Amino acid sequence: MSDFPWLTVMLLVPLAGAALVPVVGAALARQVGLVFSLVTLGVGVAVAAQYHASDGMQFTETYDWISAFGVHYALGVDGLGLLMVLLTAVLVPIVIAASWKDADEGEAGYGALDGNGQGGSAGFIAWTLALEALSLAVFLATDVFLFYIVFEATLIPAYFLIGGFGRAGRSAAAVKFLLFQLAGGLVLLGGVIGLYVVSAQQGAPSYLLSDLMSLDIGTTAGRVLFVTFFVAFAIKAPLFPVHTWLADTTEKATPGTSVLLVCVLDKIGTFGMLRFCLGIFPEASQWATPVVIALALVSIVYGALLAIGQDDLLRLIGLTSLSHFGFIVLGIFVFSSQGGTGAVLYMVNHGLGTAALFLLAGYAIKRRGTASIAAMGGQEKLTPVLAGLMLVAGLATLGLPGLSTFVSEFLVIISAFQYHWFVGAVAVTGIVLAAIYVLWMYQRTMTGPTPEALADPALPSSRDVSVREIAAVAPLVAALVFLGFYPTPLLDAANPYIGDLMSHVGVTDAPPDVTAPAAGHAEEAH
C-alpha cells in the first residue's frame, strides 16, 4: 500500500472533470465527462487491486483540519466502502453513456433548455461528476464531521440534477427532495454535535471514526444520538414514514438522475446505518432493533403494494426501491453475519439491477413518448432486444435465482427467518409482490397487441436499442448474471467487514438446532 494518496486522487478526478466539462463547451462535454468518469473507475479498480480483504481500514489518510473540534480530513476504505466506491464508479460512466444526448432534447427528451437553462448535457454531466465526487467522499470519509459535510454537500448537485433536467413539475419535486433531506441533515447535525460533547467529556475531542467507535457512550446518550443518526439515514434511504419524496423525485427526474439518486445517493443511508449506527452505537442499535425491523417490514410490503398500484413507469420503479431498502435495513438490523453480508450484497446488487431497470425504462419512455403504463403496450414486437433486456432487469428486481439479487435477498430472508419466523414470513411475501409488480408492469408495457398507429418502422418507437444504449446497460446485465452464479468477489469484500462489525457489536450467530453429526465421510467429499 504505497503512500500515494489514492483516495484523495479518486475524489479530485471527478471534481476536476466537473470543473472542466462546462468550460470545454457542449460539443466535447459528453466525451470529456465520460473520460473523467472512466479514469475515476480506473483509480477505483487500482485501489481494489491493492486492497487486502481482511485488513480492515486501508489507504488511510489523516490530516488535522479543525483541531479545536478534533476534526480531521480523514479518508479510508474498508470492505463496505470499497464496494460502494466501485458501485458508484461503475454507475456514473454508465449513466453518462445512457443519457448521452437526453439533456439536450426538448421537454419530451428530458431537455433542460426550457426555462432555467441548466446548459443541456454539459450541465448534466458537470453536475453528475460533482455528485460522483461528493458521493465518493461520503463513502471514503472516516471522520464523522467530514462525513456530515459531504453528506450535506451531495444535496446541491442532486437538487440541480433533479430540478434542472426532467419532466414538468421537476422543480417542485426537487424542492420536496431538498426539504426532506435537509430535515434529515438537521437532525444529523444535532447528533454530530452531541458526539462532540460526549467525546470532549472523555479526553481530547476527536471525530475520527476509530476513536468514536472505542468511545464508551452512556446508554441514554447513545440511544438519543443513535436516533438522530438513524432518522437522518432513514430519510436518506427511504424507510416507511419518510419515503414520500422518493416517488415524486424518480417520477419527475430523468432516468439517469434517478439512477444516481436511488442507486448511489440512497445507499449512503444504509451505508451510514452500517458504519455509524452500528459502529458507534452498537448497544443502542440493538435496543432499537424491534422498531427498525417493524419499519423495514412495513416498507417492504407497503412499497411493493404501492408499486403495484402505480401507472407511471418511473414512479413504479422508484417505489420498488422503497421495498428493496426495506430488505436492506432488515438485513442490517437482524444482527447476524448472513443478514449483514446479505444487506451489503443487496446494496450492490440493487444498485446494478435498479440502474438497469431505470435506464431501460428511460429508453422505452423515450421511444413511446409517454411514461404512462396504460398508454404503452406491445413494445416487445417493435423492439425485441429492449424487451429482452427489460425482462432481465425486471427479473433481477424480483430476485430470480441465477441473478445476483437473489443471493442477497435470500441471505436477508434466511437471517430474518433466523431472527423470528414471522419476520421471515412477512419478508418472503415481498418476493411474491415483487413478482406481481414486475410482471404486471412488463405485461402491460411490453407484451400484448401492438397498437396499429405504431406499425410503421419509421416511428422512433420501432427503433430498437442502439449500440450505445446496449453498451450502457450490457455491463450491468453481465454483472447481474455473473455475480448471481459467482458472488465470491463481493463476498470476499463483505464477509471480513461484517465479521469485524459483528464482533465489534458483540453478536455471534445462533448455532443451528441440530449440530452436524460427526463429520460423515460425505463432508470430506466436498
Partner 1 sequence: MFLFTEGGHSIPVVDPLGTAGVFSLMWLVIALPLAGAAVLLLGGRRTDSWGHYLGTAMPIGSFAISVYMLLDLLGRDETERSVSQHLWDWVSVGDFRVGMDLLVDPLTILFLLLITGVGSLIHVYSIGYMSHDPRRRRFFGYLNLFVAAMLMLVMSENYLGLFLGWEGVGLASYLLIGFWQHKPSAAAAAKKAFVINRVGDIGMSLAIAMFFVTFGSTSFTVISQGAGEAGDGALTAIGLLLLLGACGKSAQVPLQAWLLDAMEGPTPVSALIHAATMVTAGVYLITRSNFIFELAPHAQTAVVVVGTVTLLWGAVIGCAKDDIKKALAGSTMSQIGYMVLAAGLGVYGYAFAIFHLLTHGFFKANMFLGAGSVMHGMDDDVDMRHYGALRKAMPVTFATFAMGYLAIIGFPGFSGFWSKDHIIEAALVESPIAGVCALLGAGVTGFYMTRLMLMTFFGEKRWLKDVHPHESPSVMTVPLMVLAALSVLGGVLFIGHWIVDWLSPVVGEAPEHALPIPALALTAITVVVVAAGVAVAWLLFGRRPVPATMPIDVSPVIKAARADLYGDAINEGLVVQPGRVLTSGVVGFDHSGADGLVRGGASVVAGAGQGLRKLQNGFVRSYALSVLSGVLIVIVTLAVVNL
Residues 62-81 that bind partner 1 (CB under 8 A): none
CA distance 111 to 312: 19
The pattern of x and - marking residues 236 through 275 that bind partner 1 according to CB under 8 A reads: -----x-xx--x----------------------------
Number of residues counted as binding partner 1 (CB under 8 A): 73
- Determine which residue in the list 202, 429, 466, 503 makes contact with partner 1, applying CB under 8 A: 429
| Phi, psi dihedrals of residue 142, rounded to the nearest 5° | -110, 15
Distances (CA, A) of 191 to 186, 214, 241, 265: 9, 17, 20, 20
Pick the closer one to partner 1 by CB: 26 or 428: 428
Shortest distance, position 311 Cβ to partner 1, whole Å: 10
Give dist(CA 49, CA 45) in Å, integer: 6
User: Is the Cβ–Cβ distance between 52 and 58 less than 8 Å?
Assistant: yes
Question: Exposure of 125 by Cβ count < 10 A (0-12 exposed, 13-18 middle, 19+ buried)?
Answer: buried
Among positions 413, 454, 465, 472, the unique one binding partner 1 when judged by CB under 8 A: 413
**Cβ proximity to partner 1, 26 vs 53, nearer residue:** 53
Q: Check residue 417 for interaction with partner 1 (CB under 8 A).
A: yes
Does 406 engage in binding with partner 1 (CB under 8 A)? Answer: yes
Alpha carbon 208 to chain centroid, angstroms: 25
Contact characters 198-217, partner 1, x per CB under 8 A? --------------------
116 binds partner 1 (CB under 8 A): no
Nearer to partner 1, 4 or 486 (CB): 486
Stretch that binds partner 1, among 46-54, 279-287, 326-334, 417-425 (CB under 8 A): 417-425
35 scored as a contact of partner 1 (CB under 8 A) = no
Specify the stretch interacting with partner 1 by CB under 8 A; choose among 49-57, 103-111, 196-204, 395-403: 395-403
Task: Check residue 445 for interaction with partner 1 (CB under 8 A).
Answer: no
361/355 Cα distance (integer angstroms)? 10
CA 351/CA 476 separation, integer angstroms:
9
Is residue 522 close enough to count as binding partner 1 by CB under 8 A? yes
Query: How far apart are CB 426 and partner 1 at their closest, in Å?
Result: 11
Find where cell 400484448 sits. 448
Candidate segments 89-97, 221-229, 347-355, 412-420, binder of partner 1 by CB under 8 A: 412-420
Q: Which residues pair with 513 in a beta bridge?
A: none
Verify binding: residue 331, partner 1, rule CB under 8 A.
no
In 154-238, which residue ranges form alpha helices assigned H by DSSP? Answer: 155-164, 170-201, 209-213, 219-236
Nearer to partner 1, 63 or 486 (CB): 486
Residue 310 contacts partner 1 per CB under 8 A = yes
Identify the CA nearest to 272 among candidates 221, 329, 222, 208: 329
User: Which parts of 448-467 interact with partner 1 (CB under 8 A)?
Assistant: 448-450
Residue 311 backbone dihedrals phi, psi, to 5 degrees: -110, -20
CA 376 to chain CA centroid, Å, is: 28
| Euclidean distance between CA atoms 361 and 372, whole angstroms | 11
- Distance (Å, rounded) from C-alpha 416 to C-alpha 108? 44
Looking only at residues 482 through 501 of this chain, which bind partner 1 when binding is defined by CB under 8 A? 485-488, 491, 495, 499
* Least distance between partner 1 and beta carbon 88 (Å): 24
By CB under 8 A, what part of segment 336-375 binds partner 1? 336-338, 341-342
